[in-house]
């Protein structure tokens, strides 16, 4: 069985293209932290097709945290000079938001209130109704 699950952040904005037949294809690179060694990050090339491709291009951008389910595929090709190349990539079957819209914002409403001086800390030692 060839199935993988990934959770990571986009390294750059997804790139949407169309085949000569008009089929949408989107490619992007996902930065994924290793499970037991979070100091190491793997950069994985991902390809999405058709509706999934358009979804990725429309709703994700550099830095977006996403989860996906897909399969691993290897491609080989020969360049003009005759040198053989091999690439491993993930073909995305399903792609999901992995953070809330609020988490994706730079500052939360509480941080905004603190920064603007509108937030008044409460001393819990005084009479407090809760």
Distance (Å, rounded) from C-alpha 72 to C-alpha 1? Answer: 10
For residue range 39-69, list pLDDT tens digits in order: 899 999 999 999 999 999 999 999 999 999 9
Q: Which domains, and CATH codes, for the chain?
A: 4-116 (2.40.50.140)
The 10s digit of each residue's pLDDT in 19-44 is 999 999 999 999 999 888 878 999 99
CA angle at residue 115 from 111 to 120, to 5 degrees?
A: 85
């Amino acid at each position: 069985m060839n199935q993988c699950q990934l959770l990571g952040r986009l390294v750059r904005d997804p790139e949407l293209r169309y085949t000569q037949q008009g089929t949408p294809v989107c490619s992007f690179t996902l930065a994924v932290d290793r499970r037991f060694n979070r100091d190491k990050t793997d950069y994985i090339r991902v390809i999405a097709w058709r509706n999934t491709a358009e979804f990725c291009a429309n709703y994700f951008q550099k830095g977006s945290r996403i989860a996906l389910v897909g399969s691993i595929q290897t491609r080989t090709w020969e360049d003009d000079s005759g040198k053989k190349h091999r690439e491993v990539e993930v073909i995305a079957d399903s792609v999901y938001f992995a953070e809330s819209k609020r988490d994706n914002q730079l500052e939360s409403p509480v941080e905004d209130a603190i920064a603007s001086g509108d937030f008044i800390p409460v001393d819990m030692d005084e009479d407090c109704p809760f």
